[in-house]
Amino acid sequence: MMKLSHIVSGIKSRFAIEQAKNRFAQKDYDGALKELKTLVKAQPDFELPPGLSHDLQMIFGMALEETGHYERAVQIYRAIMSVDPSYLESARIHIGCTYSKMGEFDAAIREWEELLDERPNCMRAYELIREMRNMPEQTKKAILAFAAVRRSLSSQKD
């Protein structure tokens, strides 16, 4: 028999997804992101239901990224990019940004350079590469320290 808490959790998840869909349909992207961030915080291992629009999946990836679930965010972005090439630019931008939040600065630059190989006119990729290369060492050290603390806290939860 299924536990009541599991049933309630499922209902809350479906409600959050419906709220996010409604907000997205109303072009309230920040509201959709907020709904999905709340869901991710409550259930970090939540799986999106099939058939969700790629736009909403991207927002789910952003919710994961903004709540520190970096590896999972990268997986979401890569999956979207692989099935819908129109998301190539935004997905690669987000993958690079996620890597930089993880302290993987070289991987971030590589991601943006790969984007430029495919889309040479993507000015945002040029800007991000320049910013990353010009980032003060002190800032990089702070990001690395923060990433280490986040990894430590994450491993303590497991």
* Domain presence at residue 89: yes
* Domain presence at residue 41: yes
pLDDT of residue 6: 56
Amino acid 125 reads A
Distance (Å, whole) CA 138 – CA 14? 43
* Residues 70-76: contacts with CB under 8 Å, at least 24 apart: 70/98, 70/99, 70/101, 70/102, 72/44, 73/98, 74/98, 74/99
* Average predicted confidence (pLDDT) for the chain: 86
Distance (Å, whole) CA 32 – CA 38? 10
pLDDT of residue 63: 84
CB-based contacts of 117, cutoff 8 Å, min separation 6: none
Range from 50-54, 110-114, 148-152 carrying the lowest mean pLDDT: 50-54
The single-letter DSSP state of residue 104 is: -
CATH number assigned to the domain comprising residue 49: 1.25.40.10
* Domain presence at residue 2: no
Range from 23-32, 44-53, 57-66, 91-100 carrying the lowest mean pLDDT: 44-53
What percent of the chain clears pLDDT 70, i.e. is strictly above it?
A: 89
Range of the domain at 116: 13-157
pLDDT of residue 66: 83
* Domain presence at residue 99: yes
Mean pLDDT of 14-37: 83
| Burial class of residue 91 in the structure, from the number of CB atoms within 10 Å of its CB (0-12 exposed, 13-18 middle, 19+ buried) | buried
Confidence of residue 139 (pLDDT cuts 50, 70, 90): very high
Is the predicted pLDDT of residue 1 greater than 70, yes or no?
no
Is the predicted pLDDT of residue 158 greater than 60, yes or no?
no
* Cα dist from 78 to 7, 31, 65, 107, 147, whole Å: 31, 24, 13, 14, 21
* Domain presence at residue 45: yes
* Domain presence at residue 65: yes
Determine contact, residues 112/96, Cβ cutoff 8 Å.
yes
Please count the structural domains in the chain.
Answer: 1
pLDDT of residue 12: 75
Strand runs labelled E in the chain? none
Is the predicted pLDDT of residue 20 greater than 70, yes or no?
yes
pLDDT of residue 74: 96
Determine contact, residues 128/97, Cβ cutoff 8 Å.
yes
